[in-house]
Amino acid sequence: DSGVTQTPKHLITATGQRVTLRCSPRSGDLSVYWYQQSLDQGLQFLIQYYNGEERAKGNILERFSAQQFPDLHSELNLSSLELGDSALYFCASSERAGEITDTQYFGPGTRLTVL
Amino acid sequence: AQSVAQPEDQVNVAEGNPLTVKCTYSVSGNPYLFWYVQYPNRGLQFLLKYITGDNLVKGSYGFEAEFNKSQTSFHLKKPSALVSDSALYFCAVRAFGAGNMLTFGGGTRLMVKP
């Protein structure tokens, strides 16, 4: 168990809907990262927050947004959902701002199914 | 741009035999390399990382990896495979100039047969 928690474990919704995925980092970690894992795209970095501020952006769609709250938990909001958004969404955390040597610890993921 | 290649989709090995999961990378500058393992219905678990120093890195569960700069490789190894090692393995790389982004390979499924 990495200490990173994600809720819910599974989410089934319809196209056009909006969902929110939640992540709590390991105790003491200040950075949160979001990744998408799909069969065709593999594991892709979406976005990073450090101590409440956006730190780095990857291949995140404009329909997706995230935030990190004062208690350091993070939420990933996915809107206008499409079938292709069906994937496993991982949250990871690290101790610092994401120094190049930092290890990221991953949560168990949220499996999103869009019907 | 940085990239990682895991040339084998699947590796099959008999229990008790040594295993190798291959990884090659492409970066500008010094690479910082990581291995993760994903068990079914679980998140990615950190195994080991290479930052600098000794080219042989030891990690969790008896795994080790060898960094080879000239061949731009970072192969994962274990002297004696266990059935419980069967999982999906990911190699990842980071480099200066690419932000904080971890770039992952496509993954290699390891099947250890009794």
Q: Nearest Cβ partner of A106 from B44, B49, B107? A: B44
| pLDDT band at B100; cut points 50, 70, 90 | low
Helix, strand or coil, per DSSP, at residue A50: strand
- Given B32, B46, B107, which is nearest A42 (Cβ)? B107
- Helices in B42-106 by DSSP H: which ranges? none
pLDDT tier for residue A111 given thresholds of 50, 70 and 90? very high
* Minimum distance, in Å, between the CA of residue B112 and any CA atom of chain A: 23
Cβ–Cβ contact B89 with A under 8 A:
no
Q: How far apart are alpha carbons A60 and B54 in whole angstroms?
A: 36
Q: pLDDT (tens digit, 9 = 90+) per residue, B22-47?
A: 999 998 888 999 999 999 878 899 99
Q: Nearest CA to CA, how far is A67 from chain B (Å)?
A: 17
pLDDT in tens, A21-64: 999 999 999 999 999 999 888 899 999 999 999 988 988 999 99
